[in-house]
Amino acid sequence: MEKRNSRVKQLSFRDGERTGRQPGAIVNVASVPQRSPFRYPGGKTWLIPHIRAWLTSHPTPPAAFVEPFAGGGSVSLTVACEHLAAHVTMIELDAQVAAVWQTIIHGDAAGLAAQIEQFDLTLDTLAAALRTIPETTQQQAFHTILKNRTNRGGILAPGAGRVKTGEAGKGIRSRWYPATIARRIRDIALVRSRITFIQGDGLALARQWADDPDTVFFIDPPYTASSKRAGSRLYLHAEVDHDAVFRLAAACAGDVLMTYDHAEEIHALADRYGFDTEPVAMKSTHHAEMTELLIGRDLDWARQIQIGSVQSRASVPPSEQD
Ligand SMILES: C[S@@+](CC[C@H](N)C(=O)[O-])C[C@H]1O[C@@H](n2cnc3c(N)ncnc32)[C@H](O)[C@@H]1O
């Protein structure tokens, strides 16, 4: 481990080889590998080209990358898989989501992958599986994946509805790609020595790295700070002390990148804590053009990315899209 860390730390990010792009080059969203077993509401796979540009704007890869609101984890997984930081820590409060990460990162990932592959999903088998009370973390993880893949929008919060007609009238099976999900789990297991998962309050836990200049933070809380409150129905834990999030981010010795909805209240918070902001274009699940807000100390690296050139994922087969 020590050896690998020092090798990573010596690598310069500016060689373009490690990321397949040069700063300012065209960002091709279709080229972003999907690594998470989740289809996660508010997931940030679309932001991966920016994450690469952000971390490669540092002269050397950070020793530690911390994601205090990890959710579906696509950013953390990319950082670990692409050696964008020497070690990744994912934190998530939701017990259902946490069970999946606990099993994959610190438990029997191969067992969970096999269980998913072997499950014959029908309305009856789904109902029977979800009627059982999970007795182990792995059983809870399996329940979570089942629900995530059969609930509308991947929503795990209470009150989430089941997918009805789904893609091409395939109903509950329309997002059930067992071979793809199992492969992603096995792939994560290959890099898990570089990842730590902790279940708990991201805000409280992240403080332990606040004084370390070589730790960077990617902070993507539920979007409940503005009056739009877009995140309020997506997660069981949606209430966050956003002022405290900004206060912590401002106090961190290392670099910080936050994402929020593009709203006046968020600009006001960013101004109060002296942050730079940059709107970034994204396509919603309904393919509507939207903007979200990047917040950090100095977002010059983001302004160099050609946002207008983001390409669609139309050429990616559905089983690889989420
Ligand atoms: C916007 S989502 C993160 C999405 C993630 N970046 C992705 O790409 O999938 C916010 C997450 O924060 C979690 N959360 C809410 N309150 C939390 C807390 N106090 N500590 C840790 N996680 C929390 C929610 O359960 C949700 O998974």
Mutate which of 34, 36, 47, 93 for ligand 1 pocket (most atoms within 8 A of beta carbon): 93
Confirm if 61 and 82 have CB atoms less than 8 A apart: no
Residue 308 pLDDT: 44
Say if strands 195-199 and 276-283 run parallel, antiparallel, or are unpaired.
unpaired
Selected from 3.40.50.150, 3.40.50.720, 3.90.340.10, 3.90.1860.10, the CATH number assigned to the domain covering 2-320 reads 3.40.50.150
Ligand 1 interacting residues, C-beta cut-off 6 A: 40, 42-44, 68-69, 71-75, 91-94, 97, 201-203, 220-222, 235, 237, 240
pLDDT band (50, 70, 90) for residue 232: confident
User: Cα–chain-centroid distance for residue 232?
Assistant: 18
Instruction: Give the separation between CA 50 and CA 41, rounded to whole angstroms.
Output: 19
Q: How far does residue 69's CA lie from ligand 1's centre (Å)?
A: 4
Q: How far does residue 222's CA lie from ligand 1's centre (Å)?
A: 6
- Residue-wise pLDDT tens digits, 200-219: 999 999 999 999 999 999 99
Q: Which helix (H) or strand (E) holds 10?
A: helix 2-10
CA dihedral 110, 150, 259, 287 (to 10 degrees): 120
- Predicted TM-score (pTM) of this structure: 0.88
- Residue-wise pLDDT tens digits, 128-141: 999 999 999 999 99
pLDDT band (50, 70, 90) for residue 8: very low
Gyration radius of the chain over CA positions = 19
- Residue-wise pLDDT tens digits, 71-88: 999 999 999 999 999 999
